Amino acid sequence: MKRNKSFLLFGLLAWLFTACNTDDLEKDIDTLTARVTDMETQMRTLNDNLNIVRIMLDGNKTIMNYSQDGGTYTLTLSNGETFKLTPGTIGGNYPSVSISENGTWVVGGTDTGKRAVAINGTDATITPQFKIENKAWFVSYDGGKNWEQLANGNPTEIDGITPNPVSEAKIEGDFFIIKMNDGKEHKIPVVKNLACTIAKDGLNLSDGVWLVAQESENTLKVNMGPNSQDASIRIITPVEWKAVRTTDKDGMAVFTVHSPAGANECTLVVELTKGVNTITDQLKVRTITDSNYADYLAGFDIMIGDVAINKYDYPEAILIEGVVTISEPGCYFIKDSETVKAAVSLNDGKMNNVILIADNKEERVNATAGNAFVSIVGEYFLCKGIHFTTTKTSGRWFDQSGATAPAKRVYWEDCSFDVPDMNFSFFNAGNAGIENILIKYCFISSKNSTNKNFIQLGGTATFTNITICNNVFYSKPGSISGLSLFGLDKTGATFADGGMVKIENNTLVNIGAKAALNFISVPMRPNWTMNNNLIWYDTEITNRTTLVGAGIEGQFNFDSFGNNRVFTSLPQSDATWRIADPNTVTFPEGKNFRLDVTPNITAETIFVYENGITNYALTPEYAALGIGAIVK
């Protein structure tokens, strides 16, 4: 049967190459390439054009400078942003985009309800963003975080798709005018060399938000441009914030911004007026607190992985003080009081949609499972800033006993664990499975473990994404712990197609199983990544140590595996460190399957020590590897 299939395939190929000459084939390829390039150009043009349309609708900007290259305009706005605008048709199959009478975006004939026009001087911050994927148009309203496919939005089909929504653009007097396909015109003033641009250099910015201390005075500078004679400028703030203009310097208007006490966030709007033109720039500013619960009450997001915890999505969060038992689903902030340290008990170990967050951002709070294992039975179990302990000494610590459906998210972020001589986890509850496992910025102390697994998967469950990044796994100096570290053991479990395992930037101190140290104990897929992990030990590991212990699915992808380094303080080491077993993996010519071990590297060479506490922050030479972490 195989020979018949091969003969048919060969015959079909032969017929194809006799039925058309190579010139025709090259023309078809050229046409397809041009069409793909044309669609990519349309996508960029649409996104660029809508950005400038939204700015025009705001009415709070002017054009400071512009240039034209063929049919494309490059516009520099008064707030320093630069946009390109290309009117007319490039191709002819754009999604339909317009503005409703209520000032909202209408995309694909549907009123999104998302504001496109400024209100009371406050800019509209939402601009639809488009992409082409799988031959279809997708739109995002949150800067590309989430996408939805447009109905009747196939870019390979002309019918039902409109031309470029910006049909025409021109300079007319002191205005730049664009015309939309619906016949409406929008214009923005051209005022050369007049700016209103907040200078962000030197500001403490996080995701575009200016972070300042509570009850502090902070300097903010605004560039007004050389054409700012006779202009007036001010900063509009809520009543609890104050902004006072001080002495101008270096062509900048200089303000002192006074922040309030407590958790507070606002948008500072800088408003400059000259003649009939009023232009603005704005910046979100937030006070820094040491309390996650205070941030929650103020409406801020507390991030655990990709999940935003806030009072709008989780309105009934509870602040816990003292010794408390968790027995119900909910979001819990845990606070150490002045006299009593918090000590959360995880009840009978059943965690059904529970979120645990330390109130203090700088210190972890205690949670214990007693002598029970912790069973994750709900859709999620999310933890941030928790120090976990247990009195169990055998079996496993976390599992899914009793779960009847897959968990969506199991996240530990900025947590710490004292792992006894047992498996940290064994997720094997039938076909329950977990879609996303995250272990990040955690500190795992493994004491005298003997060939135990950190993550063990079993049952008939399906797992999708596992992220183990920026953690420290450590055992005390002079002892090797046999925690088979990232051992993704599999006994019947499966990984979903398209799933991802990511093991990056972890620091391992005296971790090495007696038989073999396996980062991954299942066949590694080409898209999984294992990069920038640092391994250091001061006690001999005498056995073979293979990071990928069960071979590779398909060809080994060296782009997904790199810069993993092994160091030891020993003058020489008998341990055999290698990426994978050459008997199970075919390595490309010239690729070494061995990991280099660098001897005579003391802990002080790699790690920083302060005040008698081992601080696994890395010295500058090794800062690109592993993670820095204070371990007590």
φ, ψ for residue 360, nearest 5 deg: -75, 125
Is the model's pLDDT at 140 over the cut of 80?
A: yes
Q: What is the pLDDT of residue 130?
A: 78
Q: What is the mean pLDDT of the chain?
A: 79
Residue 56 CA to residue 65 CA, distance in Å, equals 15
Cα(282)–Cα(210) distance, integer angstroms: 11
- Give the DSSP letter of residue 122: B
Of 87-91, 361-365, 581-585, which gets the smallest average pLDDT?
87-91
pTM of the model: 0.76
Confidence of residue 467 (pLDDT cuts 50, 70, 90): very high
| 608 has pLDDT over 70 | yes
> What residue segments make up the domains of the chain, in order of their start?
30-189, 197-288, 292-526+539-545
Measure Cα distances from 483 to 321, 379, 419, 455 in Å. Answer: 34, 28, 9, 10
Amino acid at 589: E
| Three-state SS at 618 | strand
Q: What percent of the chain has pLDDT over 90?
A: 26
More confident residue, 608 or 444: 444
More confidently predicted of 6 and 314: 314
Top-confidence residue, 278 or 97:
278
CA distance 211 to 195: 24
DSSP string, 434-494: EEEEEEES-EEEE-S--SEESEEEETT-EEEEEEEES-EEE--TT--B-EETT--EEES-E
Can you name the residues that pair with 66 across neighbouring β-strands?
Answer: 75
Q: Mean pLDDT throughout 227-247?
A: 92
Using CA atoms, how far residue 299 sits from 212, 289, 310, 311, in Å, is: 17, 13, 6, 6
Name the residue with higher pLDDT: 210 or 595.
210
- DSSP label at residue 514: S
**CATH fold of 197-288, please?**
Immunoglobulin-like (2.60.40)
- Round to whole Å and give the CA distance between 164 and 182: 11
Count of Cβ atoms closer than 10 Å to residue 266 Cβ: 18
pLDDT one-digit tens code per residue, 190-222 = 999 999 999 999 999 988 899 999 999 999 999
Name the DSSP letter for residue 314. Answer: S
pLDDT digits (tens, 9 = 90+) for 480-505: 777 766 666 676 788 888 889 999 99
Where b means 16+ CB within 10 Å and e means fewer, 573-586 reads bebebbbbbeeebe
